Amino acid sequence: MTNQPSDILILSNGPGEVTTWVRPVVRALRQKLGDDRSVVRISVVLSPCPNASGKEAAIALSYPEVDRVQGAEHFWQFLLWGKTFENWDWRSRGVIVFLGGDQIFPVAIGKRLGYKTVVYAEWEARWHNLIDRFAVMKPEVAARINQKYAHKLTVVGDLMLETNSHSSLAKDKGQMTNDKAQKTDLIGILPGSKAAKLAQGVPLTLAIAEYVHAKRPHTRFVIPVAPTLDLQTLASFADPQKNPFVETFDFTGASLIFPQENTALPSTYKLPTLKTETNLVVELLEETPAYHLLSQCCICLTTVGANTAELGSLAVPMIVLLPTQQLDAMRSWDGLPGLLANLPGVGSTFAKLINWFFLKRKGLLAWPNIWAQSEIVPELVGKLQPQEIGEMVLDFLAHPEKLDDMRAKLRSIRGESGAASKIAQIVYEEIEK
């Protein structure tokens, strides 16, 4: 490529997009375009997301390929007036890469900066006449577009599949190895990253783990801790003094124990753990992304959201849980419902109404089921009880052919791999123009 300085502006929003889309794309961009920051500069601007934790900007800034990041709290000023909080300068040519948010954002910002626009579209491509290029996940997305815009669309595959190719577990750090995973049934627990899900998700999943462990003592459990969540906060949701939902699920609580305090546990436990009153030990893995570990799990217990997409892309069997013991508790919806449910003062009322309406008209919730338009992974919604779900887990473990069938179906519904490098190629072509 020429040495004329260019800017690449990544637009993204939530924790799932930042970790599973932005990470592989910026890595591929540097591999394709080089590491000379005087030639190619990569910026990330985040837009608001109801599922955001507030740590997304720090995560994006931790990627060595990224030069500068602006958090979501300053997005509207940038969208409306073109000014970043730190008054960034912009080079005369550049490309905007859309990796989450609303597809109208690159249209508006691209016009203001005079940049080309590239949109990654999983399921739907919009604003065909205003966007320069679309990188779509599957041919079906392109098939729904007016053929006069077909030249703008390139099928690149599934960005989620990139997440499994760049992660590993370091054995010298005492993390679970393949040998250990093969000797036991390893079950992953993904209760979410925000309080709305954790309040019910943590005690429910730990109670399920206790039930399963009592009948299959060799089973091991691990929580891949979300990068936006610290261990003390996670543990607080297992504390009956801090979380009233602990007692709702007949769970007695768990304590956070660090490795140096694990004298009462076998030496194989080298990670921080949550230890329950029944001596169940759940290991806490803080390495992100944790795809290598998740790939070793025979099954996972997960809440709705980006977790289901990540597990689906790894072909890991799962049971998706949405407890509704208190309708007010679930406030993590996307878009306008999420904003209304989190309004000060009246948010609780909106949350109850939204959740009531949702339960009346519930469609498919887990991303793999949405992709397949059928329930290939179980979705359990309602006043869930640990014992019933525990029996379901035990049945899966006793009949591994059911898990194999779920894995096969998960593999069949995703797009091709290599999406990040193909997106980087599209960006390269637009810069060269």
Considering the domain 6-165+417-432 in this protein, what is its CATH number?
Answer: 3.40.50.2000
CA nearest 230: which of 286, 170, 311?
286
pLDDT at residue 157 tops 70: yes
Contact 257, 275 (CB under 8 A): yes
Encode pLDDT of 22-55 as tens digits: 999 999 999 999 999 999 999 999 999 876 778 8
Give the helix ranges, DSSP H, for 150-194.
178-183
β-strand 94-98 against 40-46: which pairing, if any?
A: unpaired
What pLDDT score does 412 carry? 85
**Residue spans per domain, the chain:** 6-165+417-432, 171-412
Encode pLDDT of 297-330 as tens digits: 999 999 988 789 889 888 999 999 988 765 544 5
What pLDDT score does 411 carry? 87
**Average pLDDT of the segment spanning 152-180:** 58
Q: Distance between terminal CA atoms of the chain?
A: 10
Same fold, 6-165+417-432 and 171-412: yes
Sign of CA dihedral 247, 252, 257, 261: positive
What pLDDT score does 193 carry? 83
> How far is the C-alpha of 76 from the C-alpha of 314, rounded, in Å?
35
**Average pLDDT of the segment spanning 99-123:** 93
Encode pLDDT of 189-207 as tens digits: 999 888 878 999 999 999 9
Helix (H) or strand (E) holding 207: helix 195-215
Buried b (16+ CB within 10 A) or exposed e, 393-403: beebbeeeeee
171-412 domain in CATH 3.40.50.2000? yes
